Amino acid sequence: MGLRQISGWVAFIAAGSLSTVTSAACWEAREIASAEVRYYQSMLMVGTLKCRTGDRYIEEDYNRFVDQAREVLDDHNRTIRDRFLRDYGLYDGEDMYDRFTTRLANDFAAGADRQGFCRELAALLRISASSHPQDVAVLAQAVVDDLPLRDPLCRDEGRHAYREASACFEPAPPRAAPPQPAAPAPVSADKPETDTMSGPAAPLDREAAMDRALKALTAAAEALRAVPPAPPASEAPVRSEDGDPPAREPAREIVMIDGIPTDQRPIVGAAN
């Protein structure tokens, strides 16, 4: 599930005059983190369009994820758009950005027609919809395995910059360790034992919850990448628990314009 980029020379408009920069296009570390987020969003969007007919909760979870993380997603999309404007100019940059986002959706759609895909997608959406918006970049890193960018990093920062780039986007503040529970009082021989677990539950520690979510998300993403291709049409279809064969749509390329499919109704709340 890689991303293919288009490299070239940089042209930009500044102070009303056209000038050409004789240096190759490149990616800043924070722009790579934004590309991972955009790929992650495109994956969830394309998967929702494919799987929503079989599970109504899939579309609900996607819309909830977009509504909650809209501001963060828009910030990452602006970062990518600004990158193309910087490297390809005011007019060509917009066109290159549209091609880039369309390519992300189509690349993922080409491999989404597999058994087990919708089940794993539902797991990713549940975790995404219940996560904090500022954790989107971390979730994207856990799912997007690699970005084989043809254009290099601008300052030759190396591969480690991929996994450290999310520090540019307000990481969640660390929380103090929860207090240790007090030792239970000794039980008197003439007094029945009381329930020491009564009372309201302690608030869930966000770091611990995020760690568990990332482990579940990584496992779901690995399973999503590892599911085998669909069997040939000559084989009998796998039947659901009620005995009816699952509905399958014919494979087709999803044409996207700025992240919105042209042949299906848009999902409510989808971010550009």
Give pLDDT, residue 170. Answer: 41
Query: Residue 72 phi/psi, 5° resolution?
Result: -65, -45
CA nearest to 127, candidates 117, 116, 140: 140
Give pLDDT, residue 117. Answer: 85
Give pLDDT, residue 116. Answer: 82
Give pLDDT, residue 208. Answer: 56
Whether 179 is covered by a domain: the verdict is no
Whether 193 is covered by a domain: the verdict is no
Whether 122 is covered by a domain: the verdict is yes
Give pLDDT, residue 100. Answer: 86
Give pLDDT, residue 108. Answer: 78
Whether 82 is covered by a domain: the verdict is yes
Give pLDDT, residue 237. Answer: 46
Give pLDDT, residue 173. Answer: 43
User: Across all residues in the chain, what is the average pLDDT?
Assistant: 66
Whether 140 is covered by a domain: the verdict is yes
pTM here? 0.53
Whether 213 is covered by a domain: the verdict is yes
Give pLDDT, residue 113. Answer: 73
Whether 129 is covered by a domain: the verdict is yes
Give pLDDT, residue 11. Answer: 28
Residues of the domain holding 88? 28-171+205-229
Give the model confidence (pLDDT) of 68-84 as tens digits: 999 999 999 999 999 99
Whether 187 is covered by a domain: the verdict is no
Give pLDDT, residue 41. Answer: 93
Spell out, as residue ranges, where the chain has pLDDT lower than 70. 1-24, 111, 146-150, 155-272
When divided into structural domains, the chain yields a total of 1
